[in-house]
Chain A
Amino acid sequence: MPASVLTAQGLTKSYPTLSGAIPVLRSVDIEVTAGESVSIRGESGSGKTTLLYCLAGLERPDGGKLLWEGRDVGKFGADELALARGQCMGFVFQSYCLAPELNAYDNVLLARRVVGRVRPEDCSRAHALLEKVGLGERQTHVPAKLSGGEAQRAAVARAMLNRPRLLLADEPTGNLDERTAEDVISLLLRLCAEEGTALVLVTHNAAFAARTKRAIRLEHGALVS
């Protein structure tokens, strides 16, 4: 039985408003094992991004339990949580979110800088990842000089630099055309499979969701499948 990378039990989350709290997540249970790919689909406002952020520790759920490799995240302090997230997780966002002041190579290496000292093997890995994602010739280009697809591929390389146990992707193809989106999803799935990284992919695209090992659906904050 593969080890559990992430376990969420009974996660609930609501946002306070003047007219009362709006529930966004209703007792969500989810488990992701090592190397597994899971897609989360749902309509806009179903709570997909909130669920993703809760799983990543970027938002504290109001209730429930979250375990990262068996460790209770609820007991982590803020610094410990941030460090654990940086070392064990990778992120790919819809809008690439690359630092505009850094070139592609430095953007990838930023993932290592934030969690610790940059070692020579980190530099080598950054170069290698950029080659793998097809940006070998564009490493010194700043994001403004990259196309959407190229920028997203650089983001994928950044997410993979620290050999994360889990990669969380929030609509990574949302801003891309069909062909480029296909390339990025294929790249994501291939790299995760190669590195043994578990993947949680939030997407609207049914075809992409079907390519993951398990697909779950969120409706009004509750899992339906």
Chain B
Amino acid sequence: MPWPVYLALKHLFPTGRRASFFTVVSILGVTLGVAVLLVVQSVMNGFANEYAINLIRAQGHIQIRSGALIEDPEPIVKLAKSVPGVVSAEPYALGQIMLEFNNRPAFPAARAIAWPAQYPRTAQEKAMAPHADTTFPSALSIDVNRADQQPLEQTLVVGKLDDLDDNSILLGYGLAADLGVHVGDTVKVYTPLMLNRLESKEVLLPLSLTVAGIYQTGWTVADDNTIVVTLRKMQDLYGLDGEVHGVEVRLDNNDLDHSYDVAAALNAKLAPLNAERAAKGDTAPLRALTWLEVNSDLMQILGVEKAVMFYIMIFIVVVASFSIASSLVTSVVRKTREIGVLGALGARPKHIAAVFCLQGFFIGLVGVCLGVALAFLLLECRQPIIEKFVDRRLLLEFYKFLSFPVEYRAEDFIKIILFTLIITTLAGMLPAWRAARLKPAECLRYE
């Protein structure tokens, strides 16, 4: 072993003694910094991932849209289903409406929400909230005659899917609770079409729809802000004349690269269709967009949040490194005579400098290893830690989950480990530089 490495290790872990106080405190600082960084990043990854899953559940993996309404979605649906990896494809129509019941209005956001039951909840979660299952209702506006849609009835807490027709409506649990609506009640529906028709002096009366069922998905956005009607009714509400806003495609897995690959395949297959449409004068080409492209702003915001948290938390490691630098500078002063002796024994200044620089590196190395271990421990045992401070029922009721979602990403680990090692090594460079500049003769005279 090179002697600077040997001596650096001996300075940190002296013979016949446990590690010095300075060593322990320095390593602890780095450990905590690394652990906090990893925990925060992994939890933020988990939340982003959970959000992404919910987006996919609501909107599908891929949406095929053009800049305008789509007249005949059937060829597109057929084409989409021919691409490997596609599990389902269904047309959707969206819109904002106003609901009114007993003079109480509501403005549910129109969303298409559907996914297969891939994430069953634990028995514990089911016991806490038996009606909030992981399956979603299918598209906001659904064609009840389509056999390939995801079953909606699994989320219905009251009512039957069979009762949904062109004169009825399904409400989310939260929305129904806000309005005080029950199955069998009649709600009034107002749409922007009414305003459009007013311009041509045509008055459209609000539609009365009977509540056929109430669903609870477990996702607040769906339960509090959406309704489900038949596709025909939606087209009616918005004057779509058989047109739809797009086709929602669901894949066999949630991997982002897979979504991009399938979207690329879909776009390739849509090209001839687009050429045909262009020949007919339809200038709005169809494009297959992944869920990430559809929600890029939102996901970018999550990415920015994660980056900001990283840059804030990284200062824990920076502060720990300043502490290391300060302690090592003190060590250089205390060991001035020893540095002189090393020079007398034939040590070169750069090697003497390396002794102190390496101490910073080794503190970083040990701190990183312990920090990673601590992070894993905290994350794997997060459930008992959280439950110690928060009632589980409150977690499920208000946050719709029982434990923080977590996702480990290799690039986060690599980034944090490398940054920590670099910064702790740099912390050793100032004292190393000071040590290298000392003249052996002056050091030997030092009292």
- Give A residues with C-beta under 8 Å from B: 49, 53, 56, 58-59, 78-79, 82-87, 91, 93, 95, 97, 99-103, 106, 110-111, 113-115, 140, 142
Contacts and interface: CB of A to CB of B under 8 A. Distances in A.
Nearest to A99: B338
Interface residues of B, number: 27
Nearest to A111: B345
A97 B347 CA distance: 15
Contacts of B85: none
Contacts of A84: 346
Interface stretch (B140-148, B220-228, B438-446): B438-446
Interface string B409-446: 00000000000000000000000000000011100110
Given A58-B441, A79-B348, 18 more contacts: A58-B343, A58-B344, A58-B444, A85-B344, A85-B345, A91-B344, A91-B345, A97-B338, A97-B340, A101-B10, A103-B16, A106-B15, A110-B3, A110-B7, A113-B6, A114-B3, A115-B345, A142-B15
Contact of A114 (B11, B346, B439): B346
B337 A87 contact: no
B151 interface: no
Name, among B11, B16, B346, B348, the residue most crowded by chain A CB atoms within 10 Å (CB to CB): B346
A56 B439 CA distance: 13
A56 B344 contact: yes
Would you list the 3 A-B pairs with minimal beta carbon distance, nearest first? A86-B346, A101-B14, A113-B3
Given A85-B346, A114-B347, A102 B444 contact: no
Interface of B: 3, 6-7, 10-11, 14-17, 337-338, 340-349, 351, 439-441, 444-445
28 contacts: A53-B441, A53-B444, A58-B343, A58-B344, A58-B439, A58-B440, A58-B441, A58-B444, A59-B439, A59-B441, A78-B349, A82-B348, A83-B348, A84-B346, A85-B345, A86-B347, A87-B346, A93-B444, A99-B10, A99-B338, A100-B338, A101-B15, A103-B15, A114-B342, A114-B351, A115-B345, A140-B16, A142-B14
A106 B10 CA distance: 10
Contacts of A114: 3, 342, 345-347, 351
A111 to B, nearest CB: 5
A83 to B, nearest CB: 6
B337 A97 contact: yes
A86 B440 CA distance: 13
Name, among B3, B6, B342, the residue most crowded by chain A CB atoms within 10 Å (CB to CB): B3
Contacts of A85: 344-346
Contacts of A106: 10, 15
Contact of B343 (A82, A93, A95): A82
Nearest to B3: A113
B14 to A, nearest CB: 4
A160 to B, nearest CB: 13
Contacts of B6: 113
Contacts of A140: 16
Nearest to B445: A49
Given A101-B10, A142-B16, A86 B441 contact: no
A82 B346 contact: yes
Contacts of B14: 100-102, 142
A100 B340 CA distance: 14
Contact of B345 (A78, A79, A110): A110
Contacts of B440: 58
Nearest to A97: B341
Contact of B10 (A53, A83, A95, A102): A102
A103 B351 CA distance: 21
A212 B11 CA distance: 38
A115 B346 contact: yes
Nearest to B2: A113
B435 to A, nearest CB: 14
Contact of A86 (B345, B439, B444): B345
A10 B11 CA distance: 42
A94 B362 CA distance: 33
